[in-house]
Every structure is written in structure tokens, then in C-alpha cells.
Amino acid sequence: MKKVILWVFAALLVLGLLTVPYIVSEDEVALVKRWGMVQKVIVNTQDIDKVKDALREKGYDVVVTDQKGLNFRIPFADDITKYTAKYLTYISVKETVNTADRKKIDIMMYSQYKIVNPVLVSMRNYSKGDLNKLMDDRVYPVVIQTANTLRFDEFFDKAKTETVLKTRTEALSKELLYDYGVEVADIAMHRRNFPTANIQSIQNKMIEEIKKDSEKLKAEGQSQYDKDVSEAERQKKEVIAKAIEDAANIKAAADKEAIQIYEESLRKDIEFYRFIQRTNTYKEMKDTTIFLDKDNDFMDYLNGYKR
């Protein structure tokens, strides 16, 4: 009986010695509980201050260290829980959202996140599936809210979308780190499409917009054509009026010159003027028989002398 007890004791001793050392890899974080109470947390070096601040804010007295590699525990008293420190990828389901100008888009988004504070993750007993659910509840709405605040064309502008998401990501990551022990490094669009049901309506709307633009261009073209015709008619009238005016001025000048010549001629020979006047008088008496007395002065003009 004593031999059995000794063998059992030896086996337990060997088992205890074998379980005292443990290793935390560089891509892991770990939580150490002693008799069920959190005693120590092993995190990445760059995350020590963030983890301390979060635990201090919640009133937890826990040793925070970045001592990875080989560590030791008290057999049977200490329980070690390890979590991956690698970035995990979350991809959402497809969701239809409205842009600020009330256009519908089917989107899928992804995020990169990692476990920074195992204490808070352990308290909530989160598995990877639970963390993805957390992304659904807290991260996905950020993308939807971003879509709601941007117009359709802005939402497809990568630079514009990334700027808005970056600002929202920084605020959300700090909140998740202090509440859940998870840090979100990146949130971005995985896919953006038109809803299938809306494709035909979008095509119809585009056709209507093209028709409206076409009608507008036609109206503008007709208006310009009417203006050009009106301007041409105005210029035509101006040219004709100017030509008539010039012609009238030329005729007036010619008539004036003719009258002046005529008057000059008459002043030189008044008898010739009288002869012309009588000739014009008789010429107007067409188809009329005229008897002239031999003593008529006109006879002297016809005979070439004056009595």
C-alpha cells in the first residue's frame, strides 16, 4: 500500500514539475488566473500603457507585463488562457444602405482587429464568433452611418470614404479597447454594388435624365438659332436702310447738282428758259390741235429769231 502511495505521489510530483513552465509566443497574449482570480496579463510591449489605463479606469488591480516566452506557474493554482495577438479579419454580410441623396447601394465591409487586453475579453467570455458578432454590432454601423452622410458620388470616391472612415475608426477603436479589450486597426469597403432590384429603375432614371438633357440642349439650340436669325434679319434691315439712305443722299446730291447746273444755265440765257417752258407746255398738250397766231412769240423761236 505504501508503494502505491509513493508511486502516486511521485507521479503527481512529476506532473506538477512538467506543468510549471509555460510559453507565451510572440503572436499571443495571455491571462493568468490564480484560484480563479485574475493575477497577471501578458501583452505586447506597445500595448502595455493602453492596457494599464483601461484596467485602472475600471478599478482592476492586475499585473501587466510584456514578458513573453518562457514563464512559470504554480501547479494546480494557476490557470493560463492564451489568445492570438494576430490581426483577425471580419467580413460583413451584404447590406443595402441609403446615401445622403437617398440612393441605395449594396455594401459589404471588412475590418482588421486584434485582442489587446485579455482581461476584458475573458470577463465577457468572448470566442472568435462572439468577436465577429461584436464587429456586427459596433463596427458595421460605422460604415452604414458613413454611407448615410455621404452623397452617392462621394461614397464611391475612395479618398473621401477613407477619410471619413479613418476618423470614425479612431474613435471606435478607443471605445472598444476600453470596453471590450479589442483594438480595431482598419475599417474599409469590401464591396459596393447597385441593388439588383434597382438596376432597371436606375437605367430608366438615366434614360429620363438623358432625355431631359437632350430636350434642354434642343431648346437652347433653337433659342440660339432664333437669336441668330433675328440678329441676321436686324443686320439685313440695317444694311437695306443704310443703302436706301445712301441712295437717297446720292440722289439728293445729284438733283441738287442738276438744279444748280440748270439754274446756272438759265441765268446765262433767260430766253432759252422761256423757250423750254413753252416747249414743255405744248408737249403736255398731247393729241390736241393748237393754232398759233403768226404774231405768237413761240413762232419766233421756231423760225430762229424773235420779232
Q: What is the CATH number of the domain that holds 180?
A: 3.30.479.30
**Shared domain check, 96 and 176:** yes
Residue 104 is assigned to a structural domain of this protein: yes
Residues 53 and 94 in one domain: no
pLDDT at residue 305, as a whole number? 46
Q: Is residue 124 assigned to a domain?
A: yes
78 and 116 belong to one structural domain:
no
Residue 142 in domain: yes
Is residue 48, in this structure, part of any structural domain at all?
Answer: yes
Residues 105 and 185 in one domain: yes
What confidence score (pLDDT) does residue 76 get?
Answer: 81
pLDDT band at 90 (very low <50, low <70, confident <90, very high): confident
Q: Give the domain-ending residue among 169, 199, 229.
A: 199
**Global pTM?**
0.53
Q: Which of 176, 199, 222 is the last residue of a domain?
A: 199
> Are residues 56 and 133 both part of a single domain?
no
- Of 199, 224, 252, the one marking the end of a domain is 199
CA distance 236 to 27: 90
Tell whether 47 and 103 lie within a shared domain.
no
Question: pLDDT band at 242, cuts 50/70/90?
Answer: confident
Considering the domain boundaries, does residue 99 fall inside one? yes
What is the C-alpha to C-alpha distance for residues 145 and 286, in angstroms, rounded to an integer?
108
Are 99 and 76 in the same domain? no
Classify residue 259: in a domain, yes or no.
no
For the chain, the three-class secondary structure string (H helix, E strand, C coil) is: CHHHHHHHHHHHHHHHHHHCEEEECCCEEEEEEECCEEEEEECCHHHHHHHHHHHHHHCCCCEEECCCEEEECCCCCEEEEEEECCCEEEECCCEEEECCCCCEEEEEEEEEEEECCHHHHHHCCCCHHHHHHHHHHHHHHHHHHHHHHCCHHHHCCHHHHHHHHHHHHHHHHHHHHHHHCEEEEEEEEEEEECCHHHHHHHHHHHHHHHHHHHHHHHHHHHHHHHHHHHHHHHHHHHHHHHHHHHHHHHHHHHHHHHHHHHHHHHHHCHHHHHHHHHHHHHHHCCCCCCCCCCCCHHHHHHHCCCC
Are 150 and 95 found together in one domain?
yes
**Residue 150 lies inside a defined structural domain of this protein:** yes
Indicate if the pLDDT at residue 144 is higher than 80: no
- CA distances for 276 relative to 5, 237, 291, 302, angstroms: 174, 43, 19, 12
Looking at residues 36-46, what average pLDDT do you find? 87
pLDDT in tens, 264-307: 776 666 666 666 766 766 666 666 666 666 666 655 655 554 44
pLDDT at 288: 65
Indicate whether 62 and 118 sit together in one domain. no
Give the model's confidence band at 8: pLDDT under 50 very low, under 70 low, under 90 confident, else very high: low
Work out the mean pLDDT of the chain and round it to a whole number: 77
Q: Quick one: 174 and 103 in the same domain?
A: yes
User: Is there a single domain that holds both residue 62 and residue 159?
Assistant: no
Same domain, 105 and 176: yes
Q: Could you give the number of structural domains in the chain?
A: 3
- What are 262's three cell numbers? 440748270
**Angle of CA points 90, 94, 96, to nearest 5°:** 130
Indicate whether 67 belongs to any domain.
yes
Domain of residue 99 covers: 88-199
